[in-house]
């Protein structure tokens, strides 16, 4: 089954990854790609580089970043193919462990969402 993993932190979002964390994430991503589990992913630029498009009351509203009312910031994402939710959870723990080891003080969540298969 395919899973979308979202890395979520509190605003204003995380500091840039340390060189050590970047290297560790690249090693992990390359391993997962070679194993056929990681299908894609990447980090996201800060919120002030983006926009939010909303449809409410039949009208569209565009809000350019930063989104000051945001309670959470999505810092990155990855798309995986795993045999089970347990495998997805183990992968998320391994990824967050890299942050614990290489970016002291970083706090965040990896939200794991199974995808609808078409």
Query: What does the pLDDT look like over 9-57, one tens digit per residue?
Result: 876 666 788 999 999 999 999 999 999 999 999 988 888 888 989 999 9
Element counts in the chain: helices (H) and strands (E): 2, 6
Cα–Cα distance for residue pair 102/5, rounded to 1 Å? 20
How does pLDDT run across 49-100, given as a tens digit for each residue? 889 899 999 999 998 877 666 778 888 999 999 999 999 999 999 999 999 9
> What is the homologous superfamily of the domain 2-114 according to CATH?
Dimeric alpha+beta barrel (3.30.70.1060)
Please, which residues have CB within 8 angstroms of residue 24's CB and are 6 or more apart in sequence? 98, 101, 102
Domain ranges across the chain: 2-114
pTM: 0.86
Of 37, 25, 35, 111, residue with least CA distance to 73: 111
The closest alpha carbon to 77, from 20, 3, 27, belongs to 3
């Amino acid at each position: 089954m395919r899973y979308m993993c979202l890395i979520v932190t509190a605003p204003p979002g995380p500091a840039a990854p340390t060189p050590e964390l970047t290297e560790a994430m690249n090693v992990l991503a390359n391993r997962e790609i070679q194993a056929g589990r990681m299908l894609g992913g990447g980090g996201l630029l800060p919120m002030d580089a983006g926009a939010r498009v909303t449809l409410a009351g039949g009208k569209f509203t565009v809000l350019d970043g930063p989104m000051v009312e945001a309670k959470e910031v999505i810092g990155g994402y990855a798309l995986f193919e795993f045999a089970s939710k347990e495998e997805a959870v183990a992968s998320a723990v391994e990824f967050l462990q890299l942050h614990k080891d290489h970016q002291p003080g970083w706090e965040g969540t990896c939200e794991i969402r199974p995808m609808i298969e078409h």
